[in-house]
Amino acid sequence: MAEKEAVEYFRGEEKYNCAQAILVAFTENCAMDKDKVKDIIEEYRSKGGGHAEGGQCGALYAGKALINDPEKAKMYENEFLKEIGSINCREIKKDKKVPCETCVQVASDLLKKTLNCSDLKKSNIINNEGSQ
């Protein structure tokens, strides 16, 4: 799906954090209207660096926000946990075993398996019905 990978947006020239990188990669690669998603992307500026709900990894949090199905979102979270070892940003950073770039890549790779462009366009967060 992704022509430009989320990890390329992460800390790239645009200075996107982990959560924003996931949103930008998937909305741009699915040809979403940039005006429709720019406010959401800006809102997610506050979701990186351990500031997502419950201290979650921002990349994971953003991916879950794009998934409309709670069951799929839980499976996505479980797969992330299995690969990274935690869903909590501070725990991941504390151990210094997994860099943030890897979390963004894993979150993106798992999201590609879970979400297609048609699903994304129906997402509650994209349609201003709130995130998770």
- Separation between Cα atoms, residue 106 and residue 11, nearest integer Å: 16
Q: What is the pLDDT of residue 98?
A: 94
Give the domain range for residue 33: 6-121
Confidence bin at 1 (pLDDT 50/70/90) = very low
Domain annotation covers residue 19? yes
Question: How many domains is the chain built from?
Answer: 1
Bridge partners of residue 88, in order along the sequence: 56
Mean pLDDT across 39-56? 94
Amino acid type, 77:
E
| 23/62 Cα distance (integer angstroms) | 6
Work out the average pLDDT over 92-108: 93
Look at residue 8 in the predicted model and tell me its pLDDT: 92
Residues with Cβ < 8 Å from 93, sequence gap 6 or more? 50, 100
In the predicted model, what is the mean pLDDT of residues 17-30? 92
% pLDDT > 70, the chain: 93
- Cα–Cα distance, 48 to 61 (Å, whole number): 9
Q: What's residue 5's pLDDT? A: 86
Q: What is the model's pTM?
A: 0.90
132 inside domain = no
Q: What is the pLDDT of residue 131?
A: 46
56 within domain boundaries = yes
Look at residue 2 in the predicted model and tell me its pLDDT.
45
The verdict on residue 130 lying in a domain is no
Residue 70 in any domain: the answer is: yes
What is the arithmetic mean of pLDDT over 25-52?
A: 89
Residue 128 lies in a domain: no
Which residues lie below 8 Å from residue 107, measured CB to CB, with a gap of 6+? Answer: 6, 18, 22, 57, 59, 60, 62, 63, 80
95-114 in b/e form (b: 16+ CB < 10 A) is: eeebebeebbbbbbbbbbeb
Q: Let me know if residue 131 belongs to a domain.
A: no
Could you tell me if residue 91 is inside a domain?
Answer: yes
Phi, psi of 98, deg, nearest 5: -125, 110
Confidence band, pLDDT 50/70/90 cuts, at residue 128: low
